[in-house]
Homo-oligomer: A and B are copies of this chain.
Amino acid sequence: VFTVPEQSPGPAGDFPLKASVPVTSVELVAQSSRYGSLWPLPQKVQLSDVSFKLTTSSFRIVDAKESSAGPSCKHLTFLNFSCHCVIFSTSTFVLWATSFEGNECDAFRDQPTRDKQHSPSLSVPVQPFAVLKAPKVWGALHGLETFSQLVYKDEFGTKNINQTTISDFPRFAHRGILLDSSRHFLPIKVILANLETMAMNKFNVFHWHIVDDQSFPYLSRTFPQLSQKGAYHPYTHVYTPADVKMVIEFARLRGIRVVPEYDTPGHTQSWGKGQADLLTPCYAGSKPSGAFGPVNPILNTTYDFMTQFFKEISTVFPDAYIHLGGDEVDFTCWKSNPDIQKFMEQQGFGQDYSKLESFYIQKLLNIVSTTNKGYMIWQEVFDNGVKLKPDTVVHVWIGGATDEEMHKVTGAGYTTILSAPWYLDYISYGQDWQKYYKVEPLSFNGTEEQKKLVIGGEACLWGEYVDATNLTPRLWPRASAVAERLWSAKDVTDISDAFNRLSAHRCRMVERDIPAEPLFSSYCPHEYKGV
């Protein structure tokens, strides 16, 4: 556990948002929440009206005597100032970080993992101390973010923090954002800004849907032709090894895992441009049409390629998981190809092309297993009855019968993450964050054991209609609604209180130079400086 000094309701001058929830025709001015601007809401918050003033001159973060993170561990201090820009000082105020597991900074050299839930606690018990306890450095990072959210300005502009005790831990271990760099290339700057914002919202997984039909921006050392031919542009629209390394390290320093997705056998048009014979030639009658379909599952060269390719990927990306896709395989091209037809016959698959798909996926999973990585797959792979390792994560994305699917996947004993209700690329007029907020991931029928298999969810922002020009305001604060659902307690469902806190949280993001769009008519004390 870990505790954080809590924020009493700010004075009226703190977040004087004149925003309205269009619940009635009368426009309501957004109120200050009793929980201030905390987002996502911690598990346990004890409030007090006693406030301390903070000044900029002498605020310090120190390791507590008891802390296993020794004096050489400068990372927290570094992070604190570099990423959030809102840690403040007082002549006496000391944030006392304590009780890391592990020796010195070892823990901080690790990759963040999903297994243990980081349970931070933070308290501002008596002036001049705040105490932050966390078993892992990742929890301490979350605690520092929470600490920053407790600071508010009074009507004179002075920074204040109230006596507060917080015990906190995330409800779900996997809290992700999917970004798609294939439909549109996303400049590194955009990815980093969104990782920063993810940290502000306590997201801990960046699901990088890095390649797809439209383009292959990943520059592979082993197969450089893939991006040379498959990227929108071979030099300006690629992610070099140095770029990828930078993204991973930037994310790691913020407690965020990077799970790359290399989706096959469908969604691979761009792969075919730089890798001959990888895709299935489609036929028009008795002749090749010139078009190509999914990965060709009947050639040995395909599996040789995949072996080499995923060997590289498993080295480049340190996370324990790779997302292997497996969604939306179109059988039309396979059906048109006489060699495929013959293979189907030989294998006794009849006309059931999902058996061919499973044949491919099974071989792919075996290949990836040899790299000692776990894998995530889209739900179709499970639906088609492919044999999966017990630690496979099944990603549920299809709307309509989501609860039933969750029931089935967990019933079969697989770990699951949920995205179906959180496709943020779909937009509509009004406050759709409320729809995302109201989702209850465990609403499906199932035993306690089944529910435990749901380790979290991801907000997906597919790339057809977003690029550097509009991605960030379209993602935030809509994804913040998902962030709270995945972090806070199940009973945190007061939409009106959420509106008040989220209004303040979005202004904080804006003040930190993130163009998070407004919830409704309102203003921020510091408006966005860009265009």
Interface residues of A (CB under 8 A from B): 18, 27, 183-185, 187, 189-190, 193, 213-215, 232-233, 236-237, 425-430, 463-470, 472-474, 510, 513-518, 520-523, 525, 527-531
Contact = CB atoms under 8 A, between A and B. Distances in A.
B515 A213 contact: no
A292 B464 CA distance: 46
A518 B465 contact: yes
A6 to B, nearest CB: 28
Pairs A-B, 9 closest by C-beta atoms: A469-B515, A470-B473, A232-B523, A183-B521, A468-B528, A470-B517, A193-B531, A469-B528, A469-B473
A212 to B, nearest CB: 9
A187 B529 CA distance: 8
This chain's copy number in the assembly: 2
B426 A467 contact: no
A464 B517 CA distance: 11
Contacts of A232: 18, 523
Nearest to A476: B469
B27 A213 contact: yes
Nearest to A464: B521
Given A183-B521, A473-B473, A521-B184, A467 B528 contact: yes
B520 A465 contact: yes
Nearest to A184: B518
22 contacts: A27-B213, A183-B521, A185-B523, A185-B527, A187-B529, A189-B529, A189-B531, A236-B525, A236-B527, A430-B465, A463-B521, A464-B521, A465-B517, A467-B528, A469-B516, A470-B470, A470-B515, A470-B517, A470-B518, A473-B473, A513-B531, A530-B531
Contacts of A529: 187, 189, 468
B184 A523 contact: yes
Contacts of A193: 531
Contact of A190 (B426, B469, B531): B531
Contact of A467 (B187, B474, B517): B517
Contacts of A428: 427-429
Given A233-B523, A523-B215, A466 B517 contact: yes
A467 to B, nearest CB: 5
Contact of A520 (B189, B425, B464, B470): B464
A462 to B, nearest CB: 10
Nearest to A519: B465
A34 to B, nearest CB: 24
A426 B190 CA distance: 26
Contacts of A467: 517-518, 523, 527-528
Nearest to A520: B464
B466 A233 contact: no
Contacts of A190: 531
Contacts of A18: 214-215, 232
Contacts of A465: 429-430, 517-518, 520
B468 A527 contact: yes
B527 A515 contact: no
A103 to B, nearest CB: 38
A465 to B, nearest CB: 6
Contacts of A522: 184
Contacts of A510: 469
Given A466-B517, A469-B473, A470-B515, 16 more contacts: A18-B214, A18-B215, A18-B232, A27-B213, A27-B214, A184-B521, A185-B527, A232-B523, A463-B521, A467-B523, A468-B529, A469-B530, A470-B470, A470-B474, A470-B518, A530-B530
Contacts of A473: 469-470, 473
A426 B474 CA distance: 15
